[in-house]
């Protein structure tokens, strides 16, 4: 089949596939995603969708039929397991799919709690995929007790939704203040006050020592020695670029898949863009985590 194979059916992958057709490329385009749904918007997941104010169908970037109309082949629900730059193939399920050009737009993955501190217990959730939200949403019942670990935007958004739905919410942030890496102290003060006015118990300078429970979550032990009774835990302690396929294929990585000014990786005919890619900037390398950057890089 050959043509252009795009690994990663997120914002960048969808933007790239459509741009290829807009620019007049007529060869095969295959868009591969490990989730069983077509490309969708992630930002509303921890806000309107979790709150129940946005239908699932409105998350999708395009109706699935649009991809067929544009002769873009979707392969969803089966992850790529390896890339072979020498043979110019990707392994997906039992198939070896050849490519002429390959785009790695694998995005990022959430940092998870280690099993040693209870990360594997039933009732510990991350906020990244549609499946993540669908799994935790039934627990958002009035009066339920939730611990949110991490005072970044994701954790604060989840805490705000939980408070609005009547849950008892505690948020812990190991750093001195919430939003320490992404917002000015004055901005953090406003956001903290808004959350606290809605009943969120924010504890700064306090981390999580461990999640308690045998098979499912029953509580949490914090770094200040206190213990909480909780029904579930939401972990929002950051993300990291998904470089697993690139690293296994011997493609250079440096705070992400290393690309040049044009988006080319160290492997011939292999490109990368979005959250997973780092590019040259002022003598070093920079990686951006945003929807707009993912779209801009992919379309470029």
Q: Do the two domains 4-109+239-299 and 112-235 of this chain adopt the same fold?
A: yes
Separation of alpha carbons 63 and 41, rounded Å:
13
Q: Domain map of the chain by residue range?
A: 4-109+239-299, 112-235
pLDDT for the residue numbered 290: 72
The burial class, CB within 10 Å (0-12 / 13-18 / 19+), for 218 is middle
Burial of 38 (0-12, 13-18, 19+ CB in 10 A): buried
Q: Strands 108-110 and 219-222: what pairing? A: unpaired
Classify domain 112-235 at the CATH topology level.
FAD/NAD(P)-binding domain (3.50.50)
Q: Measured between alpha carbons, how far is residue 276 from residues 109, 115, 253, 285 in Å?
A: 9, 25, 10, 13
Instruction: From first to last of the 300 residues of the chain, give the pLDDT tens digit.
Output: 689 999 999 999 999 999 999 999 999 999 999 999 999 999 999 999 999 999 999 999 999 999 999 999 999 999 999 999 999 999 998 899 999 999 999 999 999 999 999 999 999 999 999 999 999 999 999 999 999 999 999 999 999 999 999 999 999 999 999 999 889 999 999 999 999 999 999 999 999 999 999 999 999 999 999 999 999 999 999 999 999 999 999 999 999 999 999 999 999 999 999 999 999 998 889 898 777 877 878 776
CB 277, CB 297: distance < 8 Å: yes
Q: Are 232 and 121 in contact (CB under 8 A)?
A: no
pLDDT at 300: 67
CB atoms within 10 A of CB 109: 17
- Please give the CATH topology (third level) of the domain spanning 4-109+239-299: FAD/NAD(P)-binding domain (3.50.50)
* 249 in Cβ contact with 84 (< 8 Å): yes
- What pLDDT was estimated at residue 93? 86
């Amino acid at each position: 089949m050959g043509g252009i194979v795009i690994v990663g059916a997120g914002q960048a992958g969808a933007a790239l596939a459509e741009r290829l057709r807009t620019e007049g490329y007529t060869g095969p385009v295959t868009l591969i995603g490990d989730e069983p749904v077509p490309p969708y918007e992630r930002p509303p997941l921890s806000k309107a969708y979790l709150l129940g104010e946005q239908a699932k169908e409105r998350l999708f970037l395009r109706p699935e039929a649009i991809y067929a109309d544009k002769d873009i082949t979707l392969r969803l629900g089966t992850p790529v397991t390896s890339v072979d730059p020498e043979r110019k193939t990707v392994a997906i399920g039992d198939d070896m799919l050849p490519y002429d050009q390959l785009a790695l737009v694998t995005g990022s993955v959430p940092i998870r709690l280690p099993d040693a501190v209870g990360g594997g217990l039933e009732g510990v959730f991350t906020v990244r995929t549609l499946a993540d939200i669908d799994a935790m949403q039934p627990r958002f019942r009035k009066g339920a007790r939730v611990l949110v670990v991490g005072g970044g935007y994701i954790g604060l958004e989840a805490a705000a939704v939980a408070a609005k739905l009547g849950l008892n919410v505690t948020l812990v942030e190991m750093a001195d203040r919430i939003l320490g890496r992404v917002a000015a102290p004055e901005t953090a003060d406003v956001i903290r006050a808004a959350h606290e006015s809605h009943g969120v118990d924010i504890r700064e300078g306090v981390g999580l020592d461990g999640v308690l429970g045998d098979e499912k979550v029953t509580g949490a032990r914090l770094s200040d020695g206190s213990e909480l009774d909780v029904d579930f835990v939401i972990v929002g302690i950051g993300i990291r670029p998904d470089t697993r396929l690139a690293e296994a294929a011997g493609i250079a990585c440096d705070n992400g898949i290393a690309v040049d000014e044009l988006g080319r990786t160290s492997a011939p005919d292999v490109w990368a863009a979005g959250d997973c890619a780092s590019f040259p900037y002022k003598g070093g390398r920079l990686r951006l985590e945003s929807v707009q950057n993912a779209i801009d890089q992919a379309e470029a």
